[in-house]
Structure 1
Amino acid sequence: MEVMGMETGSVNDLKTFVEVKSFGDILPKNGTNIRSPYEHQKKAMEALDKINKEESYSTLVVLPTGGGKTYTASMWLLKNAIDKKKKILWIAHRQMLLDQAAESFQKFAYTEVVPHISSFRFRIVSGASSHDRTIDIKADDNLLIISKDSIGRNIDRLDKWLEGEKELYLVVDEAHHSTAKTYRKVINYVKDKVPNLKLIGLTATPFRTAEEEQGLLGKIYSDGVSNGQVARGDIGITYQIGLKELINRQILSKPIFESYFTEENYGDSLGLESWERIQYLDNLPEGIASQMAESAARNKLIVETYKEKQDEYGQTIVFAVNVIHAIQLSALFNKAGIKSDFVVSDIRDGVTGVTVSREDNERKLEAYRNGELQVLVNVNILTEGVDLPKTKTVFLARPTVSSILMTQMVGRALRGTAAGGTSSAYIVSFIDHWNEHIAWVNPESLFAGDNEFQDSDDSERIKRDIQLIAISKIEEFARILDNSVDTIDLERVAFEKRIPIGMYAFNYLEENGMDHSYQVMVYDSTQEAYKNLMES
């Protein structure tokens, strides 16, 4: 069945509507695609053409947020996989990302791109009520777009779909999550079933590419294109372009940074446990999050800041501390005469029984796209995969220690004029007092150095590492001074052996899509064991 409708429009004001269903037969449209790829997207496709000559590979395509990674990948796959009747398995960890991928394949399926087929079948599989289940997978599905949790729990449901396939394209959206156990399980399972697996990871977030720092991600994506040649076992990137280059080309907008001090102090009541939750997990303790959400003065500052400059700020996305904060801020914006709404993950009101569903969120997003809302408040849900090109400003009403999260939040406002967005973008931070206890990410630091978003510059990373090690030693000495704890065995170890030689860092991805970061102290006595663990 045909599952799409199209309206005509200019390249800079492309108006499209696609009704994304759970499955269907896509009939390629006649005529010419009115959207032409930008130069960097053409270069990415050319680089993929080069590595695609290999029988199998595992590689990354790195485009900054707003650089069109889903469009680039879907256009290339329509031509190189769908048109050649090769199957595609597309995996992501959020429902919005699944729908966005399906929409892109449907929207750009023109006969000029897929001239050798009359139709192809897609299927979206997840736990969402609007999507199919793994039991619905059919052997003749050409494009399977599936949540990592759904397939992770029922991986054998792929067997009939994979049976007899000699070549397969496996795409991991937001590939910086690939190190999660479920992703690795799926990748390895498919690799064992298909002789020639072509693994492509899409991400807006570059990782440090020094050989010793690649870790698990570098092991998953080990092939790339370097100096025009395919490189095996190297940096694992086929194509990468920097943020600043896309700003210069007006594909992304120029960021303008503003900071407002709330005069709120949260550092004094911060204990060690709370500090660790923030530093290691980027997770504000519930008590502190509640303080921030319920601060009338802080919330007033956020609303008044927008009200005073609403003509300059234009359409704005606000990143709130938690769900309560999002709801409260949206109410305050509306009270101030500013049309606002909130989008959050599925929640149910314990008193009224009313549920904020995925469909409610989509309705609000569409109202924002249509200009019916000036402000959209959310809690992390708009960090990945949602296309809101007219956003001119982001309000950072929540702090983060994660450069990845900050990159994604800032990226929401970076769509430039050449891409139907704005020439400039306001990145507005609301800064609280933490008595320098926390190494919060400064959004301006993402633009420091070369053309890439920075995971965090080495000096800051080293400073934080030393700080962590110092705290570890303070805790140890406290135990020695505490007569109630037997530390005889510890004191027998030479002092230099008690000093950590470094840390292993890793991410943990929950089923709800929350990405947590961890660091583990490594000592001389445990170095070999951790090394063996990482290599296994």
Structure 2
Amino acid sequence: MSSAKMQSLNLFDESPIIIPATPKMGNIIEFPKQTHGRVLEDRWYQTKALAEIDARLPVGAKRRGGKGEMLVSPTGCGKTSIASRAIKRWLAAGEKVLILCDLERLLKQMREDIEAEGIFSLIEKASSNALTGFGTGSDKNCVVASMQTLYEGRLQRWDKNAFDKIVIDECHELKWVNIINHFTAPYLGLTATPLRADNQSLKDFFHYSYIRTLTMREAIEGWDGVVHEDGHREFVDPFLCRIRLKTIPAPQIDLSSIKIVTRDFDKQTDFNQAQLDAKIYEHTNFLATAIATHAGDRPSFTYCPRVDSAEAIAKALRDIGAKAMAYTNRTQDPEGVMEMFIAGEIQHLVNVNMLIKGINVPKVSAIFRVRPSINIGQATQEIGRGTRNSPQTGKEDCIIFEFDYQTGGKKLGSVLDSILDGADDPDEKPSKEEFDFRKRKRELAEKLVRSNQEDDVVSAYKKAEQQLLFEDAEKRRKQQEERQAKYQRVDIDLTTQDYDPFAGLDKRGAATDAGSGSKPAMPSQMALLEQLSKGDIKAWQIDHWSLEAADRKITELEQRAKYKLASEPQRKLMVDLGIDPKKAARLKSWEATAAINERKAEMARALEPHGLSFEATIGKTVWEVKNLYKRFFGGAS
């Protein structure tokens, strides 16, 4: 858009801002596509996720147990690209696919993304009726539908067996449940935040464990997908930009009296948004000044509770000379406003929920979270608007600004929670030690940020981990010295030996004695080993162990838990299923789950020629499938 057009808007006018709907052709700006100079095959985690989708939802699959599969991947890491490849394979095999989207903007973006893969789709929304041409040709087997359109009478027009696969965008919001219940096809959900609006589990709707690519932290660091024999990882080419966190003191804004309520339509538990909006509105000038001061020249998104506060803050920003506009459901020609933002004619967009989903604007390098929330998912969705790389604009990082309100003890969801591994999964059951370590790490990282010792969130976590590991090592060293003094242990000289942390396992993963020559293991050690191994090592099995052997095994299992490596039962099961013991020892817990499921699927397919259907077999437990396989083939490998 031209500068003349910008001047004609009068940014200091209190009247509604109206932008002509048809800008000059020479000034139209395309929404940037998510390429970042990569293709799908170059991203190991996308290829791996696609393989797991193929294993769980092969051509001809039926819905299992009334549940679907869920793909979890951070914003900006290509969920839609992965899904598009899966859809293309299903369509090539003659299957019919339904894609459900929440908003019209998301529907349009989804259609453009799958068209980039050569997939033609019919539209089912408002006046567009996909049923008319559906199934009349190989290029008319894919329907992209609005969730708001497919309800009651319109939904009933579709036969329950019309589709072979269903894909659900932003599946964590559960607006699609009635639609899924109408159809019989298996379904795949896509989300960056596997939490319901009420922070509860999604296991009622999706099989657990979910199909995961990598964590936000791993994407920011650029993990290459390899866990080496010694447990270390290489970080090469970041998939997302660095995230920095700044807290802005706001002690005068007291939220302690604002009620926490649960919304009827999606069960989201959060601040009463009307009360919150009124409180934020009272401090419009302070907030606008803070945004203008801290943003510098960075293009920014600001999130507010409701339209009143969003419009007030946008106007206050204009009053102090900033180029800002409200971007809400009252905005006329939102596409025109977005074009101006991308062109640099607007620096700040102040919104409620218009910039939460389906927005891909990599240049954004500042996020202001004026609206606090107790939900981790809300924080993750908001900061996800700024995590994309943008080499074209020279963007190196994105700063998340959180206001330090008085909350009366209410814990707010933060970017620290979004990047904390495991925080988005209420179904994960970490050991007590891992849970405590994660909690301590979160608290220490927050202290580092608040004290201005570190603002890079990943670096803050790294420093916290290093400090805590050092403290724990010192604690163990002192405890060991105390035990040595108490029992007058005969030390084993390990200085001339190469200690293999997996030497205490035989070929099936069972524990063996790793040393002798001192007092026997104590009952407390045996109990701790049984707990750390999740019951795989029984006290009676190691009553002949030495004190040193027990210490070594405890240290190994503690380290494996901290680095989320496969548990003792997982390792044993993988070896039983024919997976190389060394490989089994190196896998992370979620990788072990995927490997076990993949091996299970392989055995189920091998049993099909023997009259056992894949669908019936895959619904059984791993042990049941293994025993069936052994009956026909004499082993699991």
TM-score, L = length of structure 2: 0.53
Please name the residue that 2:296 is paired with.
310
**Larger relative contact order (Cα-Cα within 8 Å, sequence gap ≥ 6):** 1
Q: Measure how far apart 1:81 and its partner are.
A: 2.4
Judged with a 3 Å threshold, the aligned counterparts in structure 2 of structure 1 residues 442 and 335 are, in CA distance, closer, same or farther, namely same
Please name the residue that 1:86 is paired with.
95
Q: How does 1:48-447 map to 2 (within 5 A)?
A: 48-53=53-58, 55-57=61-63, 58-78=68-88, 80-109=89-118, 121-127=120-126, 132-133=128-129, 138-140=134-136, 141-153=140-152, 154-159=154-159, 168-178=164-174, 180=175, 183-191=176-184, 197-207=185-195, 217-222=202-207, 235-249=208-222, 250-267=238-255, 270=257, 274-276=259-261, 281-306=269-294, 309-311=295-297, 314-345=298-329, 347=330, 356-357=331-332, 360-416=333-389, 422-436=395-409, 438-447=410-419
Distance in 2, Cα, partners of 1:151 & 1:321: 29
Q: Is the 8 A contact 1:11 1:34 kept in 2?
A: no
Judged with a 3 Å threshold, the aligned counterparts in structure 2 of structure 1 residues 410 and 59 are, in CA distance, closer, same or farther, namely same
Distance in 2, Cα, partners of 1:390 & 1:302: 21
Judged with a 3 Å threshold, the aligned counterparts in structure 2 of structure 1 residues 341 and 77 are, in CA distance, closer, same or farther, namely same
Judged with a 3 Å threshold, the aligned counterparts in structure 2 of structure 1 residues 399 and 246 are, in CA distance, closer, same or farther, namely same
Please name the residue that 1:509 is paired with.
none
Q: Measure how far apart 1:190 and its partner are.
A: 0.9
Q: Measure how far apart 1:368 and its partner are.
A: 2.2
Q: Is the 8 A contact 1:293 1:299 kept in 2?
A: no
Judged with a 3 Å threshold, the aligned counterparts in structure 2 of structure 1 residues 190 and 123 are, in CA distance, closer, same or farther, namely same
Q: Measure how far apart 1:260 and its partner are.
A: 0.6
Distance in 2, Cα, partners of 1:10 & 1:378: 22
Q: Is the 8 A contact 1:317 1:377 kept in 2?
A: yes
Q: Is the 8 A contact 1:45 1:76 kept in 2?
A: yes
Please name the residue that 1:42 is paired with.
47
Q: Measure how far apart 1:134 and its partner are.
A: 6.9
Q: Is the 8 A contact 2:99 2:169 kept in 1?
A: yes
Q: Give the partner amino acid of 2:70.
A: L
RMSD of the TM alignment (CA)?
3.7
Q: In structure 2, the residue corresponding to 1:380 is in which secondary structure?
A: coil
Judged with a 3 Å threshold, the aligned counterparts in structure 2 of structure 1 residues 150 and 455 are, in CA distance, closer, same or farther, namely same
Q: In structure 2, the residue corresponding to 1:67 is in which secondary structure?
A: coil
Q: Is the 8 A contact 1:445 1:454 kept in 2?
A: no
Q: Measure how far apart 1:206 and its partner are.
A: 3.0
Q: In structure 2, the residue corresponding to 1:282 is in which secondary structure?
A: strand
Judged with a 3 Å threshold, the aligned counterparts in structure 2 of structure 1 residues 83 and 372 are, in CA distance, closer, same or farther, namely farther
Distance in 2, Cα, partners of 1:173 & 1:432: 34
Distance in 1, Cα, partners of 2:74 & 2:216: 6
Please name the residue that 2:233 is paired with.
none
Q: Is the 8 A contact 2:100 2:144 kept in 1?
A: yes
Q: Which has the larger radius of gyration?
A: 2
Q: In structure 1, the residue corresponding to 2:203 is in which secondary structure?
A: helix
Distance in 2, Cα, partners of 1:92 & 1:221: 18
Could you list the per-position Cα deviations for residues 113-157 of structure 1 after superposition, in whole angstroms to 9, with x for gaps in the alignment?
xxxxxxx64223334xxx625776744342211122311232112
Q: Measure how far apart 1:188 and its partner are.
A: 2.2
Could you list the per-position Cα deviations for residues 90-116 of structure 1 after superposition, in whole angstroms to 9, with x for gaps in the alignment?
11222221111111012332xxxxxxx
Q: Give the partner amino acid of 1:62.
A: V
TM-score, L = length of structure 1: 0.62
Distance in 2, Cα, partners of 1:251 & 1:382: 21
Q: Give the partner amino acid of 1:44.
A: A
Q: Is the 8 A contact 2:255 2:276 kept in 1?
A: no
Q: Give the partner amino acid of 1:100.
A: Q
Q: In structure 1, the residue corresponding to 2:247 is in which secondary structure?
A: strand
Q: Give the partner amino acid of 1:56.
A: K
Please name the residue that 1:117 is paired with.
none
Q: Is the 8 A contact 1:89 1:144 kept in 2?
A: yes
Distance in 2, Cα, partners of 1:10 & 1:362: 16
Q: In structure 2, the residue corresponding to 1:293 is in which secondary structure?
A: helix
Distance in 2, Cα, partners of 1:397 & 1:93: 25
Q: Measure how far apart 1:301 and its partner are.
A: 3.3
Distance in 2, Cα, partners of 1:419 & 1:207: 33
Please name the residue that 2:457 is paired with.
none
Q: Measure how far apart 1:204 and its partner are.
A: 0.5
Judged with a 3 Å threshold, the aligned counterparts in structure 2 of structure 1 residues 420 and 169 are, in CA distance, closer, same or farther, namely farther
Q: Give the partner amino acid of 1:155.
A: L
Which structure has greater strand proportion? 1
Could you list the per-position Cα deviations for residues 432-477 of structure 1 after superposition, in whole angstroms to 9, with x for gaps in the alignment?
22332x22223213223x3664669978x99xxxxxxxxxxxxxxx
Could you list the per-position Cα deviations for residues 60-88 of structure 1 after superposition, in whole angstroms to 9, with x for gaps in the alignment?
1110111121122123312x123333221
Distance in 1, Cα, partners of 2:54 & 2:277: 48
Judged with a 3 Å threshold, the aligned counterparts in structure 2 of structure 1 residues 103 and 263 are, in CA distance, closer, same or farther, namely same
Q: Measure how far apart 1:420 and its partner are.
A: 8.5
Q: In structure 1, the residue corresponding to 2:76 is in which secondary structure?
A: coil
Q: In structure 2, the residue corresponding to 1:435 is in which secondary structure?
A: coil
Distance in 1, Cα, partners of 2:393 & 2:62: 37
Judged with a 3 Å threshold, the aligned counterparts in structure 2 of structure 1 residues 37 and 72 are, in CA distance, closer, same or farther, namely farther
Please name the residue that 1:526 is paired with.
none
Distance in 1, Cα, partners of 2:143 & 2:45: 27
Q: Is the 8 A contact 2:29 2:342 kept in 1?
A: no
- What are the ranges of 5 or more consecutive residues in structure 2 without an aligned counterpart? 1-27, 223-237, 429-434, 440-637
